[in-house]
Amino acid sequence: MKKLINDPNAVVADALSGLAAAHPGLLYVSHVPAYVRRADAPIAGKVALVSGGGSGHEPLHTGYVGPGMLDAACPGQVFTSPTPDQIHAATLAVSGGAGVLYVVKNYTGDVLNFEVAQELARGDGIEVESVVVADDVAVRDSLYTAGRRGVGGTVFVEKIAGAKAEAGATLAEVRAVAERAATNVRSMGVALTSCAVPAVGRPTFDLGDDEMEVGIGIHGEPGRSRMPLRPADDVVDMIMEPVLDDLGVVAGDEVAVLVNGMGGTPLIELYVAAKRVAEVLASRRLEAPIWLVGNYITSLEMAGLSLTALRLDAELKALVLAPARTLAWPTGVATQ
């Protein structure tokens, strides 16, 4: 697979250099150890939000660093957990004295390394709490984790916790609303093609010219089943129905929806999928006042999509719609 890179082992470092050069007004980039923080951090008296994970899922998490979302993001190597020293350094850099919340996707390495960093920060006298996102209904356990994987729901958790922290809430309050968001969000994805990790140089898995992998993980981990590619409406039904069933929504509920591209799917196809998502929601008499449609959490150049539904209450809705200023949060969402 062709890559627009220099050295396969320098992809993350080069991309961080690009990020630093392009957005100095918004972001500060530390190269060793690697983390990206708000240029104006630390904010005295504000709860700080730190996330991170393997690279290759951009814009997650660096694209969500900025006022109203994350204070810092720690990018690991491609599809590799960030190390405790990265997370610890980011924590020290953004701590404003009101505590720090970690938003962690449920992968064994991520959970472990954030736990170590939490211990280190507590040793420094910084109060740290964590919320783990485990929203993928496709499989119970997988290659990289025990329990459900953390995927697209993470974007909503980061937005909600970020807005709550920006509003001046305490660490306990930010953690509580982040937990409530994580509890009320579900996702599932499908892949039409594999991706290739630059340092590996070959596709992560093989998929036939007429096949799709239903329930794909964001690192190309196996899903529920492999089957012939079907029309978009059928594909949406196959992944949206389990998401809504597992979430347990009932007629009259409000949900926020993420129709997410995995990196290689044209935006026009995501809107074809959005059409069917709207039909599924209508058939269940669900209201969807908030939609994100685009590449929000990707798997390098993988073709495919994931669907995420977040059950809203008045506070969660207001927090998703609250202002934010980041590279990947769109200006148009607050208008709903």
Q: How many residues does the chain have?
A: 336
- Select the residue interacting with its own copies from 122, 140, 202, 275 (CB under 8 A): 275
Which residues in the 312-331 window bind its own copies by CB under 8 A? 323-331
Distance in Å, CB of 130 to its own copies, minimum: 26
- Answer yes or no whether residue 19 interacts with its own copies by CB under 8 A: yes
Separation between Cα atoms, residue 82 and residue 281, nearest integer Å: 37
Contact (Cβ atoms closer than 8 angstroms) between residue 78 and residue 45: no
Q: Which is nearer to its own copies, 118 or 260 (CB)?
A: 260
- Select the residue interacting with its own copies from 36, 273, 312, 320 (CB under 8 A): 273
Known active-site residue 88: no
Known active-site residue 61: no
Separation between Cα atoms, residue 87 and residue 52, nearest integer Å: 8
Q: Which is nearer to its own copies, 12 or 111 (CB)?
A: 12
Burial call 189-228: b when 16+ CB within 10 Å, e when fewer? bbbbbbbbbbbeeeebbebeeeebbbbbbbbbbebbebee
Which residues in the 211-270 window bind its own copies by CB under 8 A? 212, 229, 231-233, 235, 257, 259, 263-270
Separation between Cα atoms, residue 81 and residue 78, nearest integer Å: 8
Nearest to 317 by CA among 256, 246, 239, 248: 256
- Answer yes or no whether residue 53 interacts with its own copies by CB under 8 A: no
- Answer yes or no whether residue 206 interacts with its own copies by CB under 8 A: no
Distance in Å, CB of 107 to its own copies, minimum: 18
Tell how strand 254-261 and strand 304-311 pair up.
antiparallel
- Answer yes or no whether residue 280 interacts with its own copies by CB under 8 A: no
Tell how strand 211-214 and strand 27-30 pair up.
unpaired
- Answer yes or no whether residue 22 interacts with its own copies by CB under 8 A: yes
- Select the residue interacting with its own copies from 17, 170, 225, 283 (CB under 8 A): 17
Distance in Å, CB of 84 to its own copies, minimum: 23
Which residues in the 107-166 window bind its own copies by CB under 8 A? none
Nearest to 97 by CA among 164, 169, 46: 46
Catalytic residue from among 23, 57, 61, 88: 57
Residues noted as catalytic:
57, 219
